[in-house]
């Protein structure tokens, strides 16, 4: 009896998984036994440790075709989803009003900055997934957009590996202006800008937030634990009650409204310390976020360097 030919959706899933593995430097994964050949072995087979390739060059960023925007969304997975989204146009208008208020109040005037642009955030105003970093860098300050430098290119690949496009998520930073010499934001600087970030979250109402790095994680979690202690576990963001009651974006949100947070390492840290262990940790964190959102992941025995895939 001849084997059936894999369908095109299956081929796409295989390609997605291969490129996902390539993103994290996996050179190969073990072949999975076919259930038709060995049902018991297939049921018990566990993935084995994979080998990893050197860090990617800045000029060789590969972007996987994103998930179609019209794909059916899974059922709500958090109180944020259950609270109901704002209409996209209304959410976009509230975000623009919030940006204008930020420019008027200029919380960054309370500390030293080295900026030419206010990098407020971008993406789907009703995104299910939100990424939050610490502050803009030189390229972000030049363009007025978050995460567009080398770390941003890696973040784009991470988003693509999750089966999403950049346009389907929302990306922001705690600080909206570049610190001098790209210095790590202080706790006082984060505290000055945090209320505007909280309002962004309340307007967007994501179902999951992935915080990138320690300043963003500590700002949202009010925790002084290390990144190693924070990552890999689910945490909860609760906006301050007075802000929740008074902010325009808080309309319709009850006092118990929360958003689950998955902290992980900042892409810039991953580029500086591009080790097997760190890449595995980041991908494990992203997989937890995908599971929370109901985003399927594929299993495959193909190698990342199989014919038809770039090596």
* Structural domains of the chain sorted by starting position, each given as residue range(s) with its CATH number in brackets: 8-54+296-311 (no CATH), 79-273 (3.40.470.10)
Quick one: pLDDT band at residue 76, thresholds 50, 70, 90? very low
DSSP lists the bridge partners of residue 131 as 171, 210
DSSP lists the bridge partners of residue 284 as none
Residue 84's pLDDT is what?
A: 86
Residue 60's pLDDT is what?
A: 32
Q: Are strands 208-212 and 235-237 parallel, antiparallel or unpaired?
A: unpaired
Query: Cα–Cα distance between 228 and 90 in angstroms, integer?
Result: 38
Angle in degrees, 0-180, between the axes of helices 150-161 and 276-293, rounded to the nearest 10: 50
Rounded average pLDDT over 262-285? 95
Rounded average pLDDT over 191-215? 98
Find out whether 255 and 241 touch, Cβ atoms under 8 Å: yes
73 or 88: which leads in pLDDT = 88
CA 99 distance to own-chain centroid: 22
119 or 72: which leads in pLDDT = 119
Quote the mean pLDDT of the chain. 79
How far CA 254 is from CA of 13, 63, 130, 203, 220, in Å, comes to: 39, 39, 20, 14, 19
Quick one: pLDDT band at residue 64, thresholds 50, 70, 90? very low
Q: Please check the confidence at residue 13 and state whether its pLDDT lies above 90.
A: no
Quick one: pLDDT band at residue 43, thresholds 50, 70, 90? very low
Say which range, 31-35, 77-81, 96-100, has the weakest mean pLDDT. 31-35
**Among 311, 32, 268, which Cα is nearest to 154's?**
268
Q: Could you give phi then psi for residue 47, rounded to 5 degrees?
A: -60, 145
Between vectors from CA 55 to CA 264 and to CA 307, what angle results, nearest 5°? 110
Query: Cα–Cα distance between 61 and 156 in angstroms, integer?
Result: 9
Residue 119's pLDDT is what?
A: 97
Alpha-carbon Rg of the chain, whole angstroms?
21
Q: Please check the confidence at residue 50 and state whether its pLDDT lies above 50.
A: no
Q: How many helices (H) and strands (E) does the chain have?
A: 12, 6
44 or 302: which leads in pLDDT = 44
Quick one: pLDDT band at residue 15, thresholds 50, 70, 90? low
Q: Please check the confidence at residue 159 and state whether its pLDDT lies above 90.
A: yes
For 74-163, list the strands marked E by DSSP.
Answer: 122-123, 129-133
How far CA 29 is from CA of 20, 222, 303, in Å, comes to: 12, 39, 6
Q: Among all chains, which residue has been given the structure tokens 């706790």?
A: 187
């Amino acid at each position: 009896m001849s084997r059936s030919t894999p369908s095109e959706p299956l081929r796409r899933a295989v390609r997605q998984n291969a490129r996902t593995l390539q993103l994290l430097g996996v050179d190969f994964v073990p072949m999975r036994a076919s259930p038709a050949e060995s049902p018991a072995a297939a049921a018990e087979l566990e993935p084995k440790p994979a080998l990893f390739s050197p860090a990617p060059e800045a000029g060789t960023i590969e972007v996987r075709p994103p998930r179609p925007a019209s794909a059916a969304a899974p059922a709500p997975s958090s109180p944020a989803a259950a609270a109901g989204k704002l209409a996209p146009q209304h959410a976009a208008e509230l975000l623009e009003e919030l940006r204008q208020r930020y420019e008027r109040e200029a919380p960054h005037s309370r500390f030293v900055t080295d900026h030419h642009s206010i990098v407020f955030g971008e993406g789907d105003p009703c995104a299910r997934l939100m990424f939050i970093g610490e502050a803009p860098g030189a390229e972000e300050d030049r363009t007025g957009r978050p995460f567009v430098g080398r770390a941003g290119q890696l973040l784009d690949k991470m988003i693509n590996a999750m089966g999403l496009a950049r346009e389907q998520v929302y990306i922001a930073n705690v600080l909206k202006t570049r610190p001098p010499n790209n210095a790590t934001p202080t706790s006082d600087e984060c505290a000055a800008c945090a209320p505007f970030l909280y309002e962004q979250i309340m307007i967007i109402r994501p179902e999951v937030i992935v915080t990138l790095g320690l300043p963003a994680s500590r700002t949202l979690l009010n925790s002084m634990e290390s990144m190693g202690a924070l990552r890999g576990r689910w945490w909860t963001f609760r906006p301050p009650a007075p802000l929740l009651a008074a902010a325009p974006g808080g309309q319709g949100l009850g006092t118990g409204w929360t958003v689950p947070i998955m902290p992980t390492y900042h892409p810039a840290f991953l580029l500086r310390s591009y080790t097997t262990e760190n890449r595995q940790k980041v991908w494990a964190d992203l997989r937890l976020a995908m599971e929370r959102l109901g985003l399927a992941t594929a299993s495959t025995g193909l190698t990342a360097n199989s014919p038809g895939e770039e090596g």
